[in-house]
Amino acid sequence: MTPAPDRGDGSGTPDDDTEALVSSAIEVLGAATTLAALDEAQTDLLGKRSPLARAHQALVSLEPGERPEAGRRLNEARRRIESHLADRRRELQGSERAARLHADRLDPTEVIAPPLRGRLHVVQRTRDELEDVFVGMGFAVAEGPEVETDWYNFEALNMPPAHPARGMWDTLYLELGEPETVMLRTHTSPVQIRLMETQGPPIYAVIPGKCYRRDTPDARHIPTFHQIEGLVVDHGISFADLAGTIETFTTAYFGPDIHSRLRPSYFPFTEPSAEYEITCTICKGKGCRTCSQTGWVELGGCGMVDPAVFEAVGLDADEWTGFAFGFGIDRCTQMRHEIPDMRVFFDNDVRVLRQI
């Protein structure tokens, strides 16, 4: 702060001196813009080391006759400074309170953006829809473990150790027990075995779930994907029942405009076996990168349950017949939503997932 001029040297009239003290104090008070600064100014202007206090101390050096008048003038100056100080304090208290109220204000008309809501992943939604379609066709829904033993994933499915067909599935083994005996299941087909072991025919069931393979990710493959297995075991089931079921499913899920076809194929656990394909929805059958320029996309495999599988679970292959299928749920999602590259499902970029 700028101290008030200390003119106890007799220069100027005594009136001039006190007037200068007061006007300098008014300037200092006006320059204080916060209550804290005002407290400091108060000490500087009225405290023990202030020019006013020094002028009071200097009264003793005056002639006795001059002292009362000089004292009265100084008291009058103090009173005026105190009055200005009180005014300034009220002013600053008012403006600080107004600033606080402004900062704390609530605007009831303010539009608050609705909170972002979570939603199920599109693959989960497809799984739910597929279950609904099959439940509508009279199937029950079953589940099985994702960690499997060699027996369920391969051997009971007519693939004894060293069977060349095991190479169709690039398997992720767990370090548990004997080497290469426990694995992450490569398909949902092991649950066929579990169902036949635990519940006798007739069986009409679908089994959705996660599968794992050492597949390199590309437009149609991801290492952790989903399948929905179907198993029917009853008397007198024929390939026509399988074809009819797949046809009904295709129309119910993809709509009447999508064509499907079954092509001869090979799986050790079905005989005969077929591949189930639909027209590529990305290029409408013209050929593109997603369908490797063929115009068709394979959704799964299927066939009539091989008698060797019935034997493995102790069912009489002369009495029982059945069919099985296994479709990729991620593939179905990809085709239904016309997504050129499946990797977006596990990149988990919410900007993409929000649109599907």
Name every residue whose Cβ is closer than 8 Å to that of residue 252 and which is 6 or more positions away in sequence: 133, 136, 137
How many other CB atoms sit within 10 Å of the CB of residue 298? 17
The least distance separating ligand FA5 from the CB of residue 121, rounded to whole angstroms, comes to: 15
The least distance separating ligand FA5 from the CB of residue 231, rounded to whole angstroms, comes to: 8
The encoded tokens of residue 59 equal 């009264």
Q: Which of 152, 310, 320, 325 binds ligand FA5 (CB under 6 A)?
A: 325
Residue (24 or 153) nearer to ligand FA5, CB: 153
Strands 296-305 and 321-328: antiparallel
Q: Count residues near ligand FA5 (CB under 6 A).
A: 24
CA gap 303, 324 in Å, rounded: 6
The least distance separating ligand FA5 from the CB of residue 111, rounded to whole angstroms, comes to: 43
Residue (51 or 190) nearer to ligand FA5, CB: 190
Provide the edge-to-edge strand list for the sheet that holds 321-328: 140-141, 203-212, 224-234, 321-328, 296-305, 270-279, 260-267
Q: Mapped to the 3 state alphabet, what secondary structure does 215-271 carry?
A: CCCECCECCEEEEEEEEEEECCCCHHHHHHHHHHHHHHHHCCCCCEEEEEEEECCEE
The encoded tokens of residue 137 equal 């066709």
Contact in structure between 159 and 268 (CB atoms under 8 Å): yes
CA gap 142, 203 in Å, rounded: 11
Q: Is 290 in the site for ligand FA5 (CB under 6 A)?
A: no
Single out the segment in contact with ligand FA5 by CB under 6 A; choices: 2-10, 171-179, 243-251, 323-331.
Answer: 323-331
Q: Which of 331, 335, 344, 345 binds ligand FA5 (CB under 6 A)?
A: 331
The least distance separating ligand FA5 from the CB of residue 215, rounded to whole angstroms, comes to: 4
The least distance separating ligand FA5 from the CB of residue 225, rounded to whole angstroms, comes to: 3
> How many DSSP H helices and E strands does the chain contain?
12, 10
How many other CB atoms sit within 10 Å of the CB of residue 146? 14
The least distance separating ligand FA5 from the CB of residue 263, rounded to whole angstroms, comes to: 12
Residue (125 or 221) nearer to ligand FA5, CB: 221
- Binding string, residues 293-322; x marks residues near ligand FA5 by CB under 6 A: -----xxxxxx-------------------
CA gap 278, 251 in Å, rounded: 11
The least distance separating ligand FA5 from the CB of residue 178, rounded to whole angstroms, comes to: 24
Q: Is 201 in the site for ligand FA5 (CB under 6 A)?
A: no
Q: Which of 41, 52, 207, 324 binds ligand FA5 (CB under 6 A)?
A: 324
Residue (166 or 187) nearer to ligand FA5, CB: 187
- Binding string, residues 220-259; x marks residues near ligand FA5 by CB under 6 A: -xx--x-x-x------------------------------
Where does this chain bind ligand FA5 (CB under 6 A)? 187, 189, 213, 215, 221-222, 225, 227, 229, 267, 270, 273, 298-303, 324-326, 328, 330-331
